[in-house]
Chain A
Amino acid sequence: MTEAEELREFADREYEFGFVTDVESDSLPPGLDESTIHQISKLKGEPDWLLEYRLKAFRHWLTMEDPSWSKVERNSIDYQKIIYYSAPKPKKTLDSLDEVDPELLETFEKLGISLDEQKRLSGVAVDAVFDSVSVATTFSDKLAELGIIFGSFSEAVKEHPDLVRKYLGSVVPYTDNFFAALNAAVFSDGSFCYIPAGVRCPMELSTYFRINAAGTGQFERTLIIADDQSTVSYLEGCTAPMRDENQLHAAVVELVALEGATIKYSTVQNWYPGDADGVGGIYNFVTKRGMCKGKRSKISWTQVETGSAVTWKYPSCVLLGDESVGEFYSVALTNNMQQADTGTKMIHIGKSTSSTIISKGISAGRGQNTYRGLVDVKKGATDARNFSQCDSMLLGDRCGAHTFPYIEVRNPTAKVEHEATTSKIGEDQIFYCNQRGISTEDAVSMIVNGFCKEVFSELPMEFAVEAQKLLAVSLEGSVG
């Protein structure tokens, strides 16, 4: 099949990942108090220090208020109605993939994620997270030969407690914000990754998140540590069934790059966006932050946000090490009633630090798209550089695009550049494509893809194709 055909096929579908897998699951009853946290911790067989950490976070959370400053409208969340832990049965330790519930393997196959190592052609190692737990990780053994640790967070707590304890909460403390505190209290699983000094990770590491059970929230936690002079590229994908109620996804991702290390973190977010009238869909309230701790370290975020009813997140970089580099490349698409308030924070602390922000917002239907970003150059950050470019594209006249760039500079040697454009997809562009035989749907897809090119070119090859298809699907019905 050619790309155009694939795109067309995708464009003809509605949200295709909306199915529910029929597996038995162990769930805690809905509701949240200290006993819930004790139970989660006990179910996971956690050490006391982690339980303590959770409880401290929970007590802090109780003192906080659900924030309302973003430019999104949403239903208030009843935190007592959420199920905080749900795991597919049987919950025994898995020695190999053969023991994974075939229903689950099939689910991931359906999502295009083959967990069968034999079948995987490309060099991607996958950690599959289903509701609250990691169900399988591929290529762990091969990676272990290089000293790379890649697997579920729960496993890491058991097998590498020192590393987890040292870095957990070091970039995003539980006091950071309301959802980060909630996550620290109730997080169930997620991925953990450690790249030893001098190692260049030979394959893409990937986590695939799937919410399945009704009424659950997903609170995963990801921690990636790249030791001195190491390099890693990490991918994250996510889907959820179609349900009428809003489901909360409040993840925390922490990245730590030590001296000379590079972390590239890519996300293709395709949570269920709700129906055309805005019923249902995921509330995607995520805290993602990377710390460029060492000299000449680099953290690069690339995100393609097409799903979720509401997306609210700012993958950020703290540029602590001298000459460290932060990058943020983002495509956010909102169609129908979707809302996105996303952007980044680049905190320049070290000397000669530099950052790049490229944000592409696409609004269709009655979608609302907000870029909100902060470039913060601290006093000691001599010779800091930033370049920001925020472009918005509007499809139709019922949608909105908003840009809030905040710039705070406390060092006079800083050079900060900001460019912003807003364009409306042109009737003349569409007619031009039509006149060459290209259908309107394909034309819109093509024009939007062209608009996003600078971001897509940052994605690993495999994801770039997926991202293009996703845009086509998400734009379905946006032109009439």
Chain B
Amino acid sequence: MHMADALLSPAVGTTMYIVSTAAIARSTSKIKLDVIERKIPLMAVTGSFIFAAQMINFTIPGTGSSGHIGGGMMLAAMLGGYPAMLTLSAVLLIQALFFADGGLFALGANLFNIAVIPCLIVYPLIYKPILKKGIDAKRLTIASILSAIVALQLGAFGVVIQTLFSGVTALPFAAFSLMMQPIHLAIGIVEGVVTALVLNFVYKTRPEILDDAIETKGTKPKFHLRKLLIGFGIASLLIAGGLSYFASVNPDGLEWSIQNVAGVSELFSNASIHAFFAKIQELTSFLPGYAPSNDPNGTGLAGIIGSLITFALAGGVGVLIYVVKKKKIKSTSA
């Protein structure tokens, strides 16, 4: 479910970063620092554990395919929602930086889909209420499976929405959802079962871990969420209103091509969902487009040749730097 940078537009990526940053800020403010001090090793090692566990593939029965656990619900069950949010944030950051597993700019979106949803939404709304009357094997199993399924479904849906909003894929919403949701349902069921098995095992051997996590009450936050949301709303208006002033009125390549083929500069879709996304695109496109070529027949070939020249130049510069450095090293060592 880790999204790459290339699947997001700057507007969507920035928005998700703001949302995830707010979630991290809220999680940090809700954690009692004196209580969490003794929990830090547990948080770090469970984070590493989730990281390692994600590398263990298991076969999904009946599908012939394999998957791996996400770990959000498992972490939340063992640490509590807010500590799990921070732990998963550290894990996702390591994956983005060192493994190219999820882009750095897409980190905000990945944090939302993989950490915020299970830890801050599903955990308090589904997992905790089921265990309200006490922890036992049956309730733990039901809570784990149900929470994992819902978290994975919502996370996968988040990927669909973010990719569609970014305008990167031509895949229709229905087709994209039909591809993503069922496979993540299968993964969610398996993750739920694995989470249930692990949590039951942990509860048998170290019950205080789960008891402690579910009883942890947060502190009164040092800032008010309402103020943060108001600030976010004002910032969004300023960005949208201010930067849209610089939007180009010239037709882009696609509009220009459509103009020449269909006689209109835009194709109008009857589907309301396309109109909705088109409006979003219109509001969030804040960098101007290009002056199109006046010769459509030559554009492609000239573009390819130009690109090859660019690549050759870049490669040549790289080789030149390498040669010069080698000579320098030889002359200093001689």
Q: Decide whether A and B assemble into one complex.
A: no
Write the residues of chain A forming the contact surface with B, with a CB cutoff of 8 angstroms.
none
Write the residues of chain B forming the contact surface with A, with a CB cutoff of 8 angstroms.
none
